[in-house]
Amino acid sequence: MTGLRYVYAVCRPFGTPLQAQLTGIGGAPPALLHHHGLVAVVSTVPAADFSEDALKAHLEDLDWLAATARAHQGVVDALTTVTTPLPLRLATVFRDDSAVRAMIEAREGHFRGLLDRLHGRVEWGVKVYLEPEPAEPAPAPAAKPVSGRDYLRHRRESGRAQEDRWQRAERFARSLHQRLAEHAEEFRWHHPQNSQLSGAPGRNVLNAAYLVPRAHSEEFVELVDRTKDEEAGIRVELTGPWAAYSFSGEGTEENVGEGR
C-alpha cells in the first residue's frame, strides 16, 4: 500500500471552484469525492506517514504535527470561503475512495443534520488575557534593613493587589461573554490556554468560540472591537471567521451553550 485517502472535510456540492493553487498535505491538491449528495474533500497521502504505526511516531514530532495541521487548516479555510464545510479530525485517513464512500453512507444522517444546522454560519474565537504586570523598579537602598514584619506586609499587599486584578479580569470576561452570547446562536467554552505553551503573554481568562450567522459577522466583530479598550491591563483577541470546528461534533467536547 503506497497511498491513503486523507479526508479534510465533508460538505454539500458547491459550484464555485477552489483556488487553482490550493495544496493540502504534502503539497497534494485536494479533490472532491461526490457520494449520496455529499462531498468529501480528499487528497492522497503516503501510507509511510499516515499508517497507524507511523502516526503514533509522528505524534511525538511537533514540527510534523504543526506542518500537517497548517496544511489541513489551509484546505478547510479555502472551503469556508465557498461553502459550509464540516472539518474532520486531523489525520482522518481511509484505505481508498470506496472506504471514504462507506464512511459517508454510515454517517450520512449525522452529516446532513450538522450541515443543515451550520449552513451560512461561521465560528469566531474570542480570548481575554490579563496582561502581565509592569516590572517594578528596583528598590532604592534602604537606610536600615527591612524587618520581617515589613516584608510580610508587603507580600500580603502584593497578593491582594494581584487577586483584585484577577477578579476584575474575571468580571470583565463574564460581562463580555454575556454580550457576545446575545449576538451568537451558540457558544462553546474552551479550557484557558497555558501561556507557556501558546506563547501568548498574560494569563488567559476567557477562551470561547461563538457560532454566528455569516450575515451578522460584521456586527459581531464591531461589538468585540468596541470592548478592546474598556479595561486597562486587559487584552481582547478575536480570531476568525473559521469553519465551525467547535460546533461540528468532530472536535473538542467542552462546555456548550445557546446564545440568543
Q: Which residues in 87-102 are b (16+ Cβ under 10 Å) and which e?
A: bbebbbbbeeeeebbe
Q: How far apart are CA 201 and CA 132, in angstroms?
A: 7
Helical ranges in 97-142 per DSSP H: 97-106, 108-118
Q: How far apart are CA 212 and CA 243, in angstroms?
A: 11
Sign of the alpha-carbon dihedral angle for 115, 89, 245, 176: positive
The residues spanned by each domain of the chain are 3-118, 121-258
Sign of the alpha-carbon dihedral angle for 92, 98, 99, 104: positive
- The pLDDT assigned to 89 comes to 93
Residues of the chain with pLDDT under 70: 1, 134-161, 196-198, 250-260
- The pLDDT assigned to 42 comes to 97
> What single-letter DSSP state applies at residue 186?
E
- The pLDDT assigned to 258 comes to 60
| Span 124-159, pLDDT tens digits | 999 999 998 765 555 555 555 566 666 666 566 556
- The pLDDT assigned to 34 comes to 97
Q: What is the residue whose three cell numbers read 462531498?
A: 39
pTM for this structure?
0.80
Secondary structure of residue 43 in the 3-state scheme: strand
- The pLDDT assigned to 86 comes to 96
Single out the residue of 7, 14, 67 nearest to residue 31, CA to CA: 7
Is 238:221 a contact under the CB 8 Å cutoff?
A: yes
